[in-house]
Amino acid sequence: MKKEAIYNCYYEHTEIEGIPTIFALGIKHHIKSGSDEEKMQFLLDNCEEDFKTAKHALLSKRFSVGFCDGKEGIKGILPIEGFHSFDYSHKIDLFEELFACLEKEYKIKVAREPMLCITGVTRSHVEGKISAGYKIDNQKPVEYVV
């Protein structure tokens, strides 16, 4: 069987002004062969461990939330409700910058419709300005790749 790159993808979210909101992403790739069911089971079995070693990045500033009252919108966040309404190709777009990093660093080509498992990770507290970087749960600052 032919080997292919498969991906565990993560979106980190917290409540911002009472709205569950995505603010960061993570991705971990593997090169595997086997049936689609076997590869998906591998991703599910490794989901928790992969998160610890995944590449992490703030959500791209391409995504933003506007306000009806005329206040300037916030770039680099996306309400979870909006993400859940995306079709498959738009969900892949969310991870575009991280896919590009993997292609460059590991010299792999991301398939047009890659096999991936997307998991939400809840953060109960985010310190500082999200758009300028942040600390998570009193840990040392996260290092970002994009």
Cα separation, 76 vs 98, whole angstroms:
14
Token pair 């992403």 is at which residue?
A: 25
| Per-residue pLDDT tens digits for 26-35 | 999 999 999 9
| Residue 8 confidence (pLDDT) | 96
Calpha distance 102→26 (Å, rounded): 11
Q: Which amino acid is at 60?
A: S
Q: What is the pLDDT of residues 76-95, one digit of tens each?
A: 889 999 898 999 888 999 99
31: CB partners within 8 A, 6+ apart: 3, 4, 5, 6, 108
Q: What's the pLDDT score for residue 28? A: 96
Q: pLDDT value at position 67? A: 64
* Pairing mode, strands 64-65 and 78-79: unpaired
